[in-house]
Amino acid sequence: MKWSGRFEGYGLHMLRRDLVSGLIVGIVAIPLAMSFAIASGVKPQFGIYTTIIAGFLISLLGGSRFQIGGPTGAFIPVLLGIVLQFGYGDLLIAGMLAGVLLILMGVFRLGALIQFIPRPVTVGFTSGIAVIIFSGQIANFLGLRDIKRHDDFLSSMKEIGLHISTVNPYSITTAAVCLAVIVLMPRLLPRIPASLIGLVASALVASVFFHGKLATIGSAYGVIPSTLPTLVIPHLTFDKIIQLLQPAFVIAMLGGIESLLSAVVADGMSGSRHNSNRELIGQGIANLAAPLFGGIPATGAIARTATNIKSGAASPVSGMVHSIAVLIILMAFAPLASAIPLAGMAPILMVVAWNMSERKEFVHMLKMKSGDSLVMLLTFLLTVLTTLTTAVEIGLVMAVLMFVIRMRDSLIVSKVLPDPSSQSGKVRPSAVHDRRDCPQISIYSIEGPLFFGAANQFERSMADTLRLRPKVLLLRMAKVPFIDATGEAHLASVVGRFRRSGGTVLVSGIRPQPKAYLHKTGLAEQIGEDRFYEHTGEAIGEALGRLELHQCAGCKHNAFRECAALSCAAAQTGAK
């Protein structure tokens, strides 16, 4: 997708649509930006700065026409952990390093690799993140005092338990007002941003009825400045970069996954098509620039992107308008934000967690009671109880192991013979039994990938035949889509052992990838170029021509239609 193509045919009517949708999304983004920042362990204005700078650059430079970028809930446990371990200053450096990694991922065209992350892993860690976000807001909802922030679930729950006696009924009432508005507003007035109205309603209730009786943004974080911060270049050292490289990699991977998932959702809603590598580059540049102004890591926001499309967005201009709208609102109304109660922000994040939890998909996959269920559940538990990095790493390893097991079980090696009841002479496993099995020709159908996970099974299936030493081994490989080095090594072992015993190996129906691989390794030449056949019937004809006729004399197996004639010919030859 060329840059100019994103604005092709752009006119005044499209600008009107972008102005309206951008303003709506900007209003929606403000409470979310502040909430995500606070939950990540930083001041609320840093979330707003991220929305303004990163949001603008993601829309300008990204690969999706309708993507809205900014801070998101998925980042909360990762960013909070970095802040608690390294501090806010190092979070900015980690964000910039993540930006560099995202740019490199886009430059080296790694955008398509994101799609190889299995669905059970993404559902598991997304649901786990939702639990962490939701549980992290319990203290603010209840108005608990003297709570220490922790970056792990169990410690956070223990902290809540230790301070449960400090419950503030004013906080609960304020939070309940905001929650009620967020839940009811979409049903009554669906076009009005429910989170913003809920925040305003809770602020009014707290100011009028509970003034000074519960924590607010002003009391916890001070007054929000009405201007952008000045440009600050962080002090980088080699040791600092090495120290923050692992957290930066987690940010980059999570940001890449979420941004591309959001772009896919936008494609489905709008009928457009995003450029994944360009999207990663745009996300990288945005994350490289935002920390210079105090912004935290950003990515594509699925809910805000969907709102953007539903509001009539026509181009990436709507995303840029959304950032400008947030900037204007910041400059005009920032001092008023000091009165917003923290209890009023808790329900916003709780609802975000509820909406992102993928609970239906989670329950559906859990009911399947399959390997995917185990991978998802393990990833979920590890996300909640350990770290996202550990959860994704172990989840991916488990998913790969499950895949290998499935592929191994999908390999079927069957001894076959032509079915006498079939007019076309189809070969079937059912045609082979104790009284019907040619002692000189063994035919095997191989179905499934011949790879490292199944190669041993293939060679074991050949063991009896190799011991009996038939004259000809015919391998039907029309249903082998893929072969790797391990599979080729085991096939070469079977071929070598069979040839050393004086036998002949024939191959029929081999597909392009396996044949090209056998040519590359030289095994095709060992078998013999003239011993590869397109059809099994041709190969059987060649095999019959290699029989030892004296062994056919008196044979009662009748494995082939030609057996009767061969037996008679053998008997006549013996009589002479």
pLDDT score of 304: 94
> Bigger pLDDT: 112 or 53?
53
Q: Over the stretch 80-97, which tens digit does the pLDDT of each residue have?
A: 999 999 999 999 999 999
Mean pLDDT of 241-249: 95
Q: Over the stretch 381-412, which tens digit does the pLDDT of each residue have?
A: 999 999 888 999 999 999 999 998 888 888 99
Confidence of residue 573 (pLDDT cuts 50, 70, 90): low
Task: Give the CA angle between residues 171, 175, 178 to the nearest 5°.
Answer: 145
pLDDT score of 412: 93
10 Å CB burial of residue 34 (0-12, 13-18, 19+) is: buried
d(CA 33, CA 297): 11
- Neighbouring C-beta atoms of residue 445, cutoff 10 Å: 22
Q: Over the stretch 317-349, which tens digit does the pLDDT of each residue have?
A: 999 999 999 999 999 999 888 899 999 999 999
Residue 439 phi/psi, 5-degree rounding, is: -75, -15
User: CA distances (Å), 410 to each of 446, 450, 471, 522, in order?
Assistant: 10, 10, 29, 27
Mean pLDDT of 479-502: 94
Provide the residue ranges of all domains of the chain, joining segments of one domain with +. 4-400, 411-575
| Contact by Cβ (8 Å): 549, 570 | yes
Q: Over the stretch 111-137, which tens digit does the pLDDT of each residue have?
A: 887 778 899 999 999 999 999 999 999
* Average model confidence (pLDDT) across the chain: 91
Confidence of residue 547 (pLDDT cuts 50, 70, 90): confident
In 3D space, the residue among 290, 390, 241, 352 whose CA is nearest the CA of residue 42 turns out to be: 290
pLDDT score of 198: 94
Rg, the chain, Cα only: 33
pLDDT score of 1: 43
pLDDT higher than threshold 60 for residue 500: yes
Confidence of residue 571 (pLDDT cuts 50, 70, 90): low
pLDDT score of 113: 78
Residue 363 phi/psi, 5-degree rounding, is: -65, -45
Task: Say which CATH superfamily domain 411-575 falls into.
Answer: STAS domain (3.30.750.24)
| Contact by Cβ (8 Å): 363, 147 | no
pLDDT higher than threshold 90 for residue 421: no
Structure tokens at 443: 């035919």
Q: Over the stretch 183-195, which tens digit does the pLDDT of each residue have?
A: 999 999 888 889 9
Mean pLDDT of 438-446: 93
d(CA 554, CA 551): 8
Residue 528: which residues within 8 A CB-CB, separation 6 or more?
none
Confidence of residue 156 (pLDDT cuts 50, 70, 90): very high
Coil, strand, or helix at residue 160? Answer: helix
d(CA 25, CA 31): 11
Residue 55: which residues within 8 A CB-CB, separation 6 or more?
29, 68, 69, 70, 286, 298, 319, 322, 323, 326
Confidence of residue 536 (pLDDT cuts 50, 70, 90): very high
pLDDT score of 239: 94
Structure tokens at 9: 């045919």
Residue 5: which residues within 8 A CB-CB, separation 6 or more?
none
In 3D space, the residue among 78, 115, 80 whose CA is nearest the CA of residue 98 turns out to be: 78
For the chain, give percent helix, strand, coil, nearest 5.
65, 5, 25
pLDDT score of 9: 74
| Contact by Cβ (8 Å): 505, 473 | yes
In 3D space, the residue among 33, 21, 22, 72 whose CA is nearest the CA of residue 334 turns out to be: 33
Task: Give the CA angle between residues 157, 160, 166 to the nearest 5°.
Answer: 170
- Neighbouring C-beta atoms of residue 241, cutoff 10 Å: 15
pLDDT higher than threshold 50 for residue 3: no
Mean pLDDT of 288-313: 94
Structure tokens at 294: 């105090």
pLDDT score of 65: 93
pLDDT higher than threshold 90 for residue 354: yes
pLDDT score of 506: 96
- Please give the distance of CA 145 from its chain centroid, rounded to a whole number: 39
| Portion of the chain with pLDDT greater than 90, in percent | 74
Confidence of residue 420 (pLDDT cuts 50, 70, 90): confident
- Neighbouring C-beta atoms of residue 74, cutoff 10 Å: 25
Give the neighbor-by-neighbor strand order of the sheet with 504-508: 427-428, 412-418, 441-447, 472-479, 504-508, 532-533
pLDDT score of 570: 64
pLDDT higher than threshold 90 for residue 8: no
